[in-house]
């Protein structure tokens, strides 16, 4: 059995599936509408949609015959929440890079005109 976070991350680990999510930020879309920009067969696209639906990243309308897809952002929030524990680590590295750049600039100011 796969845990929820792994299912979400694995669903997101594909550029076409991420592009589908990005398209859905513009609003609901039918499968045919989604297939257009990707130049992809409907069965190929359906496979990606199933992965996204299983991960709870999209939902599909039951009522209309065209069953529009819409974005479900809940699992993305879970990934963002999980990432928060690492924020201090990437901010530390950016701080260190900033320190290093300031050091370089200071040295340049000091020695720049001696050449």
Q: Give the residues lining the site for a second copy (CB under 8 A).
A: 3, 5-7, 9-10, 12-15, 18, 21-22, 25, 71, 73-74, 76-77, 79-80, 82-83, 85-87, 89-90, 92-93
How far, in Å, CA of 60 to CA of 62, rounded? 6
- Which residue has 């990934």 as its token pair? 79
In the complex, the smallest distance separating the C-beta of residue 97 from a second copy, rounded to whole angstroms, is: 10
Nearer to a second copy, 7 or 30 (CB): 7
Nearer to a second copy, 41 or 93 (CB): 93
In the complex, the smallest distance separating the C-beta of residue 31 from a second copy, rounded to whole angstroms, is: 21
Inter-CA distances, 21 with 29, 72, 90, Å: 11, 9, 26
Nearer to a second copy, 61 or 106 (CB): 61
How far, in Å, CA of 11 to CA of 5, rounded? 10
Within 10 Å of residue 69's Cβ, how many Cβ atoms? 24
Nearer to a second copy, 12 or 49 (CB): 12
How far, in Å, CA of 9 to CA of 65, rounded? 30
In the complex, the smallest distance separating the C-beta of residue 83 from a second copy, rounded to whole angstroms, is: 5
């Amino acid at each position: 059995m796969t845990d929820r976070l792994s299912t979400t991350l694995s669903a997101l680990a594909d550029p076409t599936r991420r592009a589908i999510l990005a398209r859905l930020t513009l609003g609901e879309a039918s499968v045919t509408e989604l297939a257009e920009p990707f130049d992809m067969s409907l069965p190929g696209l359906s496979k990606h949609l199933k992965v996204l639906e299983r991960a709870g990243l999209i939902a599909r309308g039951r009522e209309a015959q065209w069953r529009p897809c819409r974005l479900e952002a809940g699992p993305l929030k879970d990934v963002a929440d999980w990432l928060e524990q690492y924020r201090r680590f990437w901010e530390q590295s950016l701080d260190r890079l900033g320190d290093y750049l300031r050091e370089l600039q200071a040295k340049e100011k000091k020695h720049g005109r001696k050449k």
